[in-house]
Structure 1
């Protein structure tokens, strides 16, 4: 009975911890399948977490915080698209710049709003989400998978990342498809951040993403840029995170495992997964290509 309780606890923890990864990975999928490299997911998540926490606390509503995160993600996604699509900025450098921008701008905003560069005021327990983001994450993956392979606009996005010349020849604007994809990428990744501040936690805290944006990229590569395999990768990484939380404070005889060693487990699993499978994953052929 005790082992069953442990298994159920691990399963539930895995699902909860996978929620922000699923949103961010789906956001990365939208951008990269259209041909735009997006390593700005970490920054998008931070902006979403901050906007969601501020609006959620101010209006005492997780749903309004969720909507604010969506708007914040749309804005930063459109700004990213402006630089990499219209201004032809280097996509890797621009992505890192957006991550650094989030790290610098958000403490500045918290100082203005709350006279503090730390956490935002916490939401009341009744104002937080209980399970809704988890459900929405899985529904989103199903909808995106269906849309990509069963709709005309979804196929346009796939062609934008694989054969943009063919898309142009058919009279469809590659630039517009990529703009749309990157904006959706920002919105979905921002929801991943909001799920941290409105679901897994009750406030925004500095760097609360803890590298999840980069883990989402790893899940995307591990899943070969496909929705369902990427979802499985998110669950794997979240399971490793749930295990490390469970192992904290565990003792072997008289020796307690140093917590620092336990905490690196999810990142170690990520590195091993990439080292073992990155050579077997084929990125979209036009990923990173400009001139469309």
Structure 2
């Protein structure tokens, strides 16, 4: 078979009347812009808000008066909202939304940085970018695992368990062997084990995929917790002291201001995550395997009639997804920390949210994961400068954005048509 088309799903047009999605979002941006201009502008001080291009207060910096910056960026948000409310063409929706949201965040930061105690009224951009990618790493791997599964028609709620088993396997076998590469391979196998169970019970025995995913998360938590207490706690030197991947610096690129030190002085997991996003995106949308995967996720019956082995392809993709998530789990134990019970702490569910927010696309999942990572890093930064904004409030913002995305406020999102639906070969 040389070619195969993926049938389109007919969607009936919806008459939204005057209050189109663009105008609704514009109204929200208007409210945010008014808040930024009036409130942030009033609370900001006349001190300079410094965005340093280094890791500390020294060196070059972008400076703006706190009050002036808060007001100007607030007005930009207002302008973006007004343009959308006036009926901006659909092709300008995403750029206008991005400008409005970025300006709102900058207005907020001008207030916070200028109001910080003396000696702390600066934001080190290198640390912010580095921290964003570091916190987003397990989310990137986890959301890519979700893309591989759900584009094939299998709901992957077990990302949490795959990440956890990968972290545990990497720490255990890396410690026993004394090799980071053995640990990395073991992490991929550990994640694949959880995925294999998901595939067998969901595809072969038609168990509800969401329920099966939750059960597998609990199974991974139980297995790793039990073995942690029996092995790692009793003899940490032997079973929980895996070697770590060192950072690899890429010449020339690492000297680029801000992005260079953050992106090109990282460990293997950072580079591997970015490469996997590119490879999976190209494979999914530019290769025969990708065409077949998408057809199985949308119309498995049509794919079957054209010669695609639906069940076999789903098995392979689900197991591959587990390997990707397992490597993501190892980004904790082979680069940062020793293993502890339940160390993933819900990151798998955040990765699932990033998958939805990113519209089941590798590049979309990457951007969503970075958004979550930035929110986490921003909460950490504001805590360091003793901000009056509770860190818990910032931590909930990515989830609120996901709810808005699923509700369709920032664009219609639709899962693959056959996602979660068992296929019984006729």
TM-score, L = length of structure 2 = 0.63
Return the offset for 1:117.
11
Deviation by residue 1:165-188 (Cα, 9 ceiling, x = unmatched): 111011111101110111011111
CA distance in 2, matches of 1:81, 1:44: 13
Deviation by residue 1:179-223 (Cα, 9 ceiling, x = unmatched): 011101111111111111112x23111111121101111111001
Residue 3 of structure 1: aligned partner:
52
Aligned residues: 282
The 4+ residue runs of structure 1 with deviation greater than 4 A are: 115-120
**CA-atom RMSD, angstroms?**
2.0
CA distance in 2, matches of 1:13, 1:290: 40
From 265, 270, 282, the counterpart of 1:146? 282
From 251, 255, 262, the counterpart of 2:386? 251
Q: Which runs of 5 or more structure 1 residues have no equivalent in the other structure?
A: none
Return the offset for 1:134.
0.3
CA distance in 2, matches of 1:221, 1:114: 36
Q: Which runs of 5 or more structure 2 residues have no equivalent in the other structure?
A: 1-49, 55-123, 248-266
Contact 1:35/1:178 (<8 A) preserved: yes
Deviation by residue 1:211-241 (Cα, 9 ceiling, x = unmatched): 1101111111001101111110011101111
Residue 235 of structure 1: aligned partner:
370
Where do 1:86-235 residues align within 5 Å?
A: 86-116=204-234, 121-124=240-243, 127-130=244-247, 131-199=267-335, 201-235=336-370
CA distance in 1, matches of 2:316, 2:268: 26
Residue 286 of structure 1: aligned partner:
418
Distance 1:275 1:115, change over 3 A: closer
TM-score, L = length of structure 1 = 0.91
Distance 1:9 1:178, change over 3 A: same
CA distance in 2, matches of 1:61, 1:118: 16
Return the offset for 1:146.
0.6
Return the offset for 1:79.
1.4
If asked which structure has higher relative contact order (CA below 8 Å, sep 6+), I would say: 1
Deviation by residue 1:130-169 (Cα, 9 ceiling, x = unmatched): 3110000000010000111111111111111111111101
CA distance in 2, matches of 1:176, 1:208: 33
Contact 1:111/1:117 (<8 A) preserved: no
Contact 1:51/1:72 (<8 A) preserved: yes
